[in-house]
Structure 1
Amino acid sequence: MSLTHILLITLAGVAAGTINTVVGSGTLITFPTLLAFGYPAVPANISNSVGLVAGGVSGSWGYRAEVSGARDRLRQFVPMSLLGGVTGALLLIWLPPSAFKKIVPTLILLGIVLVVIGPWLQKRAAQRHPEADAEMSRGRRIMLLAGVFAAGAYGGYFGAAQGVLLMGLMSAMLSDPLQRLNGIKNILSTVVNAVAAITFIIVSFHNVRWSVALLIAIGSLIGGFIGAKVGRKLPPWLLRAFIVVVGVIAIATML
């Protein structure tokens, strides 16, 4: 592996860690970088997932103040993300790449729409049921938990724009401050990446390119700290706008 090779993969990891912490979709930087260097798609995807766990940890740590009041949310969501991550990782190993390819852009578009109309949905829900957020109905809770599981399955399978889906889902159904939701998103995404990485290592060890995973881990660890500093300073409207822009770029890239 040449010095240029090492430097570019590490820098891609820094960029991915930064973007993942702010909104998600950092995989759209690292994954094409690995493909450009000639790594096959499945080993590139798996090695990328393993490496990005480090960035998720640093990004989540950077948002620790924002999520200090969200322990009840996390107790509900983390198990669903864990199960979803394992499911998605197994699907990547068992299913042909074309299985999810057609619906991924649709899922990202749905996430973008939810991010945009989230404030309107929250306001309408509050007008109809003022107590809805304090005591969420069983139906809404089931929908939200199912959505977190589905986002986790998608994240374990590929990962790009998982953050857009989570932010769209939570911002539409919860009235928590957007920065708190972003902190929750970072933790859930990290859980998904971690359990997916463990699943890959156990089930498909031969597909992990450890030198690549290490470089991405180093870069994303740095990027997670950078992303936390940047993301926490963004006002809600700008954070929503950034999520939409990244989501649109993700759709355009995949199409």
Structure 2
Amino acid sequence: MTFWIFVYLIGAGIMGGLLASIAGLASLVSYPALLLIGIPPVVANVTNTAGLVLSGIGATTSSSRELKGEGKLVTGLTAITLAGGILGSILLLIEPASTFEHVVPFFILSAGILLLVSGRQADRKDIPRLRDQNKFGLVLKVIGLFLVGAYTGYFGAAGGVIILAILTLSLPQRFAVLNAFKNVMAFMANAVATVIYAFQGKVDWLVVVPLGLGFLIGGYCGPIVVRHVPVKLMRTLIAFAAFGLAAYLFIQAYF
């Protein structure tokens, strides 16, 4: 690895860490960055996931203010996505790379749409607490979080966006707190997936070092940005960036 590629990966990691901890879209930057230096898609994905563990550490540390007093709720939500993450990471190791490349654009497109839709609900004050919600609706939300966890383990790009959308539609907490929940949930799903990938020897650990360093820096800064920057504009810009990434990967996969 040359010095400039090392620096390039740190920069991609910082931008990716910011996007991960702000809206769950790290792979909008980091995944294409890995493809550009010639890393195959599946290896790029699992290497990106390993790097995202550092983003999760940074974001969770920086979100301690928002997480205060929310330990029980966060633990329960995280357990659901963690179970899904184990399933998703196993599926990725079983399914061929061609399948992986062809489904990813649609996941990212869906995530962008969900981000825009959930944004309209971000300022709602009438969402009841989980224990007061309809049981059927709760079951659907649990299934949704499990499936998102599976997707996060399978690919991860924009998985945090989908988690954030479900949380925004389900919980009355303010956006910064929900974003902190998302950071913890995605962090744990990525950590478990990385352990599974490591046993398969598919992670490019040499790339993880500079990428993860950047992720750690960006992940720590993200929650600070969320506290001070207008959220609506941020969500809109990132959603349209997700549409752009989905279109780019769709062209690559089908043409």
Question: Is contact 1:108–1:164 with CA below 8 Å preserved after alignment?
Answer: no
1:49–1:99: structure 2 CA closer, same or farther, 3 Å change rule? same
Equivalences for 1:20-39 in 2 at 5 Å? 20-39=20-39
Question: How much is the aligned-residue C-alpha RMSD, in angstroms?
Answer: 2.5
Query: What does the per-residue CA deviation read over 1:64-101, in whole Å, with 9 as the maximum and x for residues that have no partner?
Result: 21122432321221111111111111111101234355
Corresponding position of 1:152: 149
Deviation at 1:16, TM superposition (A): 0.8
Equivalent position SS for 1:160: coil
Equivalences for 1:1-255 in 2 at 5 Å? 1-99=1-99, 101-118=101-118, 126=126, 133=130, 135-202=132-199, 204-205=200-201, 207-255=202-250
Question: Is contact 1:58–1:224 with CA below 8 Å preserved after alignment?
Answer: yes
Please give the TM-score of this superposition, normalised by the length of structure 2.
0.87
The letter of the residue matching 2:160 is: G
Please give the TM-score of this superposition, normalised by the length of structure 1.
0.87
Deviation at 1:227, TM superposition (A): 1.6
1:136–1:122: structure 2 CA closer, same or farther, 3 Å change rule? farther
* Worse-matched range after superposition: 244-253 or 182-191: 244-253
Deviation at 1:120, TM superposition (A): 6.1
1:123–1:229: structure 2 CA closer, same or farther, 3 Å change rule? closer
Question: Is contact 1:119–1:172 with CA below 8 Å preserved after alignment?
Answer: no
The count of aligned residue pairs is 250
Distance in 1 (CA, whole Å) between partners of 2:233 and 2:152 is: 24
Equivalent position SS for 2:68: coil
Q: Structure 1: where are the runs of 5+ without partners?
A: none
Percent of residue pairs bearing the same amino acid type? 30
Deviation at 1:252, TM superposition (A): 2.5
Equivalent position SS for 1:180: helix
